[in-house]
Chain A
Amino acid sequence: MTLANAMLVFRKDWLEIKRNMQVIAPIVFVPLIFTIILPLIVIVVPTVVGMPGTQFQFVGTLFQSLPPDVRAAVAGMSAEQSMIYVFTLYFFAPFFLIIPLMASSVLASDSFAGEKDRKTLEALLATPLTDGELMLGKILVSFLPSMAVTILAFALYTVVVDLAAYGIFGGVLLLPNLLWIALVFGVTPTVALAGIGVTVIVSAKVKGYREAQQLSAILVLPILALIFAQIGGAVFFGPLMILILVAVFAAIDVVVFMIGMRLFHREEILMKVL
């Protein structure tokens, strides 16, 4: 197996993907919701409607579940400041896991199962490229753009939050901080790889892009569970949670890639199309 051949597959797939609006649209628009719309709602709405006097009154039970160090951090803040601080720095963090997951599963569905839809698989499988080169090329084309989108989304989120909160916090910049850097560079790669691994498995068993994408969408469920668990006070997105997520997703990556590599055989893939 050579990296040059894997990169050949990567470049070909990337050329196709960037000309496919069906794939590019969700990868561009979903991050825009999380990076611009959500933080602006949290920052602008309290300013417009006016916050109640007591700082924990508005968010009630949500704030009661905060860890002591976060409570201490917001202790001296106004209701508006504390709400923006907690939401933008902690509660929105799990949403950022949806970006690499969504992007990687959309890209992997197109790259792996899309070849079946477009009936391009047979000629590709007739080339001397090995199964390993094909798989690595397709993993790269799913992983690298997913990570690029996630990092760009993080940069945009940082700018939006800092710009919007700059005046409210008297010139203090909220982002980037260590927690978010660990989230973006530590957790999201493992999440993206999990998305790709599951999509590889699903793609080997389905006949086309849509089916692969629909089945891969179930990956969002654990992230949604995490978001609701945080809202309910069961978990909190802090350093411990980051470590747990890295460990859990790394374990998932190992398992799904072992299964995926076992399933990724040119003959098996082609037989599913016939």
Chain B
Amino acid sequence: MGVSRALAVKATDLTRRFGNFLAVDSLSFEVEEGEVLGLLGPNGAGKTTTVRMLACIISPTSGSATVAGHSLCSDPIGVRRSAGVLTENPSLYERLTAVENLEFYAHAYGISDSERIRGRIRELLEFFGLWERRGEKVAVFSKGMKQKLAIARALVHNPPVLFLDEPTSGLDPEAAKLIRDMVVELTERERRAVLLCTHRLEDAEKICDRVMIISRGSSKIVGSPDELRVRMAGSPKLEVRLRGSSDGFVSCARSMPSVRGVEHKDGTLIISADDVQAVTPQIVRALVEAGAEIMSITPSIPSLEDAYLKLIKEGAGQ
């Protein structure tokens, strides 16, 4: 039996126009607590505008949304208190130190207990490896350190909902992994809801429970990364590399009832089947019996990138 989870974010027909330009077009989605929803799309797709609306930085032209039960229209202060926002730019005060930045934001988000603030700041700075640099002005920080501090700022008031705009942008692979692990921990253990805008398909594949691909302000498809892969780029395929020409073995592969299609190219058969893993032994046996000399067998799983690029290309052609 599935565990029912509370809705953290609910957007209904969220729309934003800038003059004649339609930046976000009737976007509707939900994010449950403990879930990461990735907003994936090219530059100008409307990801950042969506986050700005949900964080009550700009207002929607039409539509509505709630964040942690607070309405964007009637309770913007409640929304802002409930959400931690990592903006497109780190948005840090460079003449202030790391601690001064976090102290300001902790107070701005309504935390008044100085002891609690100090403890929280230490916890965050230690987690991000910035504790030793806490007294230095942010101006001397590297891009990656600024990004980590900006994420710490988004978390300083322990919000139940996080809006993260490109959280791994500008980070080295190790730091990017740290952020991804942190997002997973925040959602799985602490049950926070995360709306994550990203260009990095790696982030989407590794940490998002569901992904919404948006283009030109509107939603193209929503689903888990696995679902999107299958729906957009097709089922996994089996690549069988043979010694010599593969031409003579196409009909052999096609004759098998579970095989749905066979392509051949440069001595390699590319076989589609409903369940590639299950039919692999039969295919190998049939090909060997037909005299094929098999050099290698590789299951070819379509990537989210394939699905994403296919969708974006289709969108551009419309």
Q: Which chain A residues have a beta carbon within 8 Å of chain B's beta carbons?
A: 5, 8, 12, 15-16, 19-20, 118-130, 266-267, 270-271
Contact = CB atoms under 8 A, between A and B. Distances in A.
Contacts of B77: 128, 130
B96 A122 contact: no
A166 B109 CA distance: 56
A117 to B, nearest CB: 11
A126 B57 CA distance: 6
The 5 nearest A-B residue pairs measured at CB: A123-B91, A127-B108, A126-B85, A128-B80, A122-B87
B53 to A, nearest CB: 10
B91 A120 contact: yes
A266 B52 CA distance: 12
Contacts, number: 70
Contacts of A124: 91, 108
A128 B55 contact: no
Interface stretch (B99-107, B121-129, B218-226, B242-250): B99-107
A120 B92 contact: yes
A118 B93 contact: yes
Nearest to B81: A128
A37 to B, nearest CB: 31
A131 to B, nearest CB: 11
B256 interface: no
A267 B57 contact: yes
Scoring B55, B58, B100 by chain A CB atoms within 10 A of each residue's CB, the highest score goes to: B58
B317 to A, nearest CB: 29
A2 to B, nearest CB: 10
A7 to B, nearest CB: 10
Given A118-B93, A267-B59, 19 more contacts: A8-B107, A15-B100, A19-B95, A19-B137, A119-B89, A122-B57, A123-B87, A123-B153, A124-B91, A124-B108, A125-B57, A126-B55, A127-B80, A127-B109, A128-B77, A128-B81, A128-B109, A270-B57, A271-B58
Given A5-B108, A122-B91, A127-B80, A12 B96 contact: yes
B188 interface: no
B234 to A, nearest CB: 39
A126 B56 contact: yes
A124 B153 CA distance: 11
A127 B87 CA distance: 12
A123 B137 CA distance: 18
27 contacts: A12-B93, A15-B96, A15-B100, A16-B96, A19-B137, A118-B94, A119-B89, A120-B91, A120-B92, A120-B93, A121-B91, A122-B87, A122-B91, A123-B105, A123-B150, A125-B57, A126-B57, A127-B109, A128-B109, A128-B110, A267-B58, A267-B59, A270-B52, A270-B57, A270-B58, A271-B18, A271-B58
Contacts of B56: 126
Contacts of A270: 52, 57-58
Contact of B108 (A15, A118, A120, A128): A128
Nearest to A267: B58
B83 interface: yes
A118 B85 CA distance: 18
A267 B88 CA distance: 16
A35 B226 CA distance: 74
Contact of A126 (B80, B89, B107): B80
Interface string B152-170: 0100000000000000000
Nearest to A128: B80
A129 B110 CA distance: 9
A24 B172 CA distance: 37
Nearest to B85: A126
Nearest to A17: B95
Contacts of B87: 122-123, 126
B120 to A, nearest CB: 16
Contact of A123 (B58, B85, B95, B110): B85
A8 B95 contact: no
A120 B104 CA distance: 13
Given A128-B110, A267-B58, A16 B95 contact: yes
Of the listed residues A12, A126, A128, the one surrounded by the most CB atoms of chain B closer than 10 A to its CB is A126
A268 B38 CA distance: 28
A130 B77 CA distance: 8
Contacts of B80: 126-128
Interface string B1-30: 000000000000000001000000000000
Nearest to B76: A128
A130 to B, nearest CB: 7
Contacts of A271: 18, 58
Contacts of B93: 12, 16, 118, 120
Contacts of A123: 85, 87, 91-92, 105, 150, 153
B108 A8 contact: yes
Nearest to B58: A267
Contacts of B96: 12, 15-16
A12 B92 CA distance: 12
